């Protein structure tokens, strides 16, 4: 259970960091940004690590679903921060923008996370067969 928690939390943060650094709207604000290729590679590795790190497959799938949900929530929170902190006179537009960018991130990263999960599952099965 502890391992499940560590893996899920770490991958949630990793996916959130990837999504935030990829978000086109945030690109002008910070030097920490990546392109779609960085997001694809990072998401693929996250998916693979999840299935390599957690057994059985059912628990790994639940962990991946949690990681995806938590990372999307973190991305939403980061983009909506100026609205939540009452820094801007137009908070609704930041909330709307956050929703749009999260959708974009999910579409961009989702397939690669799943592909990584499949590859990770195969690697895990082979490792398991050898032992």
Partner 1 sequence: MTRLIFNLGFALIGLLSLFALVRVSSDYLSTINSIQNFRWRVAAFEPPTADSTESRLTLEVQNRSNIDLDFKDLEVYLWLNDKTVGKTYGRFEARTIAAHANSHIPLTIQIDTNELRDTLAKNSGSTAWSLTGSYKVGAPFAASDFLYRLRLDIAP
- 39, 40, 53, 116: which one binds partner 1 (CB under 8 A): 53
DSSP-derived letter for residue 28 is T
> Could you give the angle at the alpha carbon of 112 between the alpha carbons of 68 and 126, nearest 5°?
100
Give the whole-angstrom CA distance, residue 26 versus residue 41: 20
- 62, 65, 69, 81: which one binds partner 1 (CB under 8 A): 81
Nearer to partner 1, 65 or 87 (CB): 87
What are the residues whose beta carbons fall under 8 Å from the beta carbon of 44, sequence distance 6 or more?
A: 112, 113, 115, 116, 119
- 7, 60, 98, 102: which one binds partner 1 (CB under 8 A): 7
Q: Is 41 among the residues that bind partner 1 (CB under 8 A)?
A: no
Q: Which two tokens stand for residue 123?
A: 């690697």
For binding to partner 1 (CB under 8 A), which residues are involved?
2-3, 6-7, 9-11, 13-14, 16-17, 20-21, 25-32, 49, 53, 74, 78, 81-82, 85, 87-88
């Amino acid at each position: 259970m502890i391992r499940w928690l560590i893996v899920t939390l770490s991958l949630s943060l990793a996916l959130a960091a990837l999504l935030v650094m990829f978000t086109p709207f945030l690109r002008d604000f910070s030097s920490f940004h990546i392109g779609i290729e960085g997001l694809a590679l990072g998401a693929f590795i996250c998916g693979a690590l999840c299935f390599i790190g957690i057994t059985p497959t059912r628990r790994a799938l639940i962990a991946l679903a949690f990681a995806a949900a938590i990372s999307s929530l973190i991305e939403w929170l980061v983009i909506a921060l100026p609205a939540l902190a009452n820094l801007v006179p137009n908070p609704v537009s930041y909330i709307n923008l956050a929703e749009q960018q999260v959708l974009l991130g999910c579409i961009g990263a989702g397939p690669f996370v799943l592909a990584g999960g499949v590859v990770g599952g195969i690697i895990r099965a082979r490792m398991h067969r050898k032992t």
